[in-house]
Amino acid sequence: MTVSYQKVWDTMNELGTVTSKICSAREILDCAIDAHQEHKHEKVEHLLYAVDEFLVYYLQEFDDKFKKAWQATVGDLREGDTVNKQNNLKKWVLPTELDGLTGDVFVKFPDDFLDAANLKEGDEVEWIDNGDGSYTLKKVEQKNLNHKEAVEAGWEMTADGIWLPPQEC
């Protein structure tokens, strides 16, 4: 679902209109305060009942308009993100190849795959088995380690200040 500028504009205007009605409650309360200062207790009582009734309807209307405005903005954006992610999903079928010298099996990734996955040669990827003979690949984001974390993870620094990754045995 896409977000429509006109729909958002209309919805936010409706919310603005109902929000402006709170001024009416303020005016009724101001009249009640004036009546109280003039010792017109019966008038104060009537005005307080009036503002109480008004607020019941006002709050319901405000709640309805607020929910509608939320859906027209945040709700549609969230749904749009989901749709866009699904629509942008691309699939490739890539054959495995065999290195005749080493016996290693490998896959060559085409350039459009690398571009779509934001990958370049040397990037680390996580292979996720989908359980149906296919795999999902995700780029492993490199975390910047501080000195203590790097040492604890097995990294070593040369005398020149170059960090070497942990060596597998």
Q: Rounded to two decimals, what is the model's pTM?
A: 0.39
- Output phi, psi for 5, to 5 deg: -55, -45
Average pLDDT (108-113) is 84
Give the burial class of 61: count Cβ atoms within 10 A of its Cβ; 0-12 exposed, 13-18 middle, 19 or more buried.
Answer: middle
Number of Cβ within a 10 Å radius of residue 77:
13
Taking residues 145-166, report their average pLDDT.
81
Give the model confidence (pLDDT) of 49-96 as tens digits. 888 888 888 888 888 888 888 777 776 565 555 444 455 567 778 888
Number of domains in the chain: 1
Q: Is residue 21 part of a domain?
A: yes
Does residue 92 form part of some domain? no
161 is a domain residue:
no
Look at residue 7 in the predicted model and tell me its pLDDT.
80
**Residue ranges making up the domain that contains 58:** 5-87
Q: Where are the beta strands (DSSP E) in 45-134?
A: 96-98, 105-107, 125-129
Tell me whether residue 17 is in a domain. yes
pLDDT digits (tens, 9 = 90+) for 23-43: 888 888 899 999 999 999 999
